[in-house]
Amino acid sequence: MWDNLFQAIDDQYENMVKTRRYLHQHPEVSFQETETAEFIANTYDKLGIPYESKVGGNGVVATLKGGRPGKTVALRADFDALPIQEENEVSYKSKRDGAMHACGHDGHTAALLGLAEAILPFKEDLPGTIIFLHQHAEEYAPGGAKPMIEAGALEKVDAVFGSHLWATTPFGTIETSKGPFMAGADRFEIIVKGKGGHGAQPHETKDAIVIAAQLITSLQQIVSRRINPLDTAVLTVGTIEAGHSFNIIADTAKLVGTVRTFDAQVQEAIIKEIENITKGVCTASGADYDYRYEKGYPPVINHEKEAGFILEHTQKADSALTTREVEPVMAGEDFAYYLMEKPGAFFFTGANIPGHDYPHHHPKFDFDERAMPHAAKTLLQAYLTTQEEE
């Protein structure tokens, strides 16, 4: 019977493509996804699968109870877009200026909706319960996962799984790891407060741009010289805003950056080191500063047994798929919150288009749509394997 079930997912491919392309043309950024949430809810209305809407914000949670006893497994897909102007020239190009599905969340949603429709005819033969967890606002902290959990989305759930279509991984490949998989992602902001003046009289100023340049160089020494080389961390200054004219010395400079870690002690050490270095550089230059550090999503730490379900059983879903355990990546994901509450695992579904190697969050991002059934079948296999385990 399970072979017929996986074939039913393949049979949903055209519907998945249709759904994905509609969502791609009508993107909504984080915390504004009202039309997308309504589209998802309407789909479950048509299928006759009960659901709750406005869960923790714009979240939608649908529940399919099988006809046989078993465990409750949640399968998650996010559905928010990014504030990016699309540069792809495709028939399904975004119709909304300044908004684009540049991370594949349209595909995640289409895959999960397609999975729900595919397995519905097999409902009476299914063990346990499947929770279809459609999450809003993954892209921006505080994100949608935490409020959905607080609203009860994981109550009575025994395990949770999620997939991310990964445009830099070869098509047909499933990747995950047993343990740390994605990094914690934080944000910091530093405002250097100097003294402005005429560009021809630098000795009468405290040049915020020069001080900021020294600070950026010094901050790079935190990871290379203050953190144990066996620990993993990234510190990036992503933006600097300063100055208004070529002949005016700036009085302020604003630096905004990100820190990525897997270990809480390393995270705390970096928080302190940023302030120590900022204070030292600014004091030496006679300047003042403001420093703000915002802890974002925690790291995604897969549970070993559940990650093993992905690595060891995916070929039961599709013999053409290959799996591999990979090193953690420094990107962040609020799926981490689910794994802090329940056993589970997150995995990448390879969706690279050869020759179209634009990364996630790029205005020319796209993915191989044939990967959507791969994600759906791997999620389904994880659910089935969970039912078999004691």
pLDDT, one tens digit per residue, over 6-37 is: 999 999 999 999 999 999 999 999 999 999 99
- What pLDDT shows up at residue 390? 66
| Mean confidence (pLDDT) of the chain | 97
pLDDT at residue 2 greater than cutoff 80: no
Q: How far apart are CA 103 and CA 122, in angstroms?
A: 32
Please work out, in degrees rounded to the nearest 5, the angle formed at the alpha carbon of residue 92 by the alpha carbons of 88 and 94: 65
How far apart, in whole angstroms, are the C-alpha atoms of residue 262 and residue 185? 9
Q: Do 247 and 347 fall into the same domain? A: no
Spot the catalytic one: 28, 80, 306, 333: 80
DSSP result, 189-250: EEEEE-B-EETT-GGGSB-HHHHHHHHHHHHHHIIIIIS-TTS-EEEEEEEEEE-SSTTEE-
Cis peptide leading into 328, omega within 30 of 0?
Answer: no
Mean pLDDT of 200-228: 97
Examine the domain organization and report whether 272 and 226 are in the same domain. Answer: yes
**What mean pLDDT do residues 142-168 have?**
97
User: Which residues are paired to 329 by β-bridges?
Assistant: 182
H/E stretch holding 101: none
Residue 132 identity (one-letter amino acid): F
Q: Are residues 172 and 51 in the same domain?
A: yes
**What domain range includes position 272?**
184-297
How many domains, in total, are found in the chain? 2
Active site residue 124: no
Same domain, 162 and 232: no
Q: pTM to 2 decimals?
A: 0.95
Query: Does residue 120 surpass a pLDDT of 80?
Result: yes
Residue 251 is among the residues annotated as catalytic for this protein: no
Q: What CATH code is carried by the domain that includes residue 172? A: 3.40.630.10
What number of other Cβ atoms are within 10 A of residue 283's Cβ?
A: 11
Same domain, 40 and 159: yes
Percent of the chain with pLDDT over 90: 98
The residue among 236, 264, 297 that closes a domain is 297
Domain end: 233, 262, 297, which one? 297
Q: What is the DSSP letter of 140?
A: S
Predicted confidence at residue 389, as pLDDT, reads: 83
**Residue 158 scores a pLDDT above 80:** yes
**Statement to judge: residues 45 and 169 lie in one domain:** yes
The secondary structure of residue 23, as a DSSP letter, is H
CATH, residue 240 = 3.30.70.360
Question: Do 313 and 252 belong to one domain?
Answer: no
Do 174 and 259 lie in one domain? The reply is: no
Catalytic residue among 138, 207, 273, 318: 138
pLDDT (0 to 100) of residue 5:
95
Query: Is 216's pLDDT higher than 70?
Result: yes
- Is the pLDDT at 42 greater than 80? The verdict is yes
pLDDT surpassing 70 at residue 1: no
For residues 73 and 75, what is the distance between their CA atoms, to the nearest angstrom?
Answer: 7
Residues 254 and 213 in one domain: yes
Is residue 176 located within the same domain as residue 192?
no
Same domain, 304 and 314: yes
Please determine, for residue 79, whether its predicted confidence score (pLDDT) is greater than 70: yes
Note the pLDDT tens digit of each residue in 363-373.
Answer: 999 999 999 99
Which of 297, 326, 354 corresponds to the end of one domain?
Answer: 297
H or E segment to which residue 306 belongs:
helix 304-317
Residues 246, 384 within the same domain? no
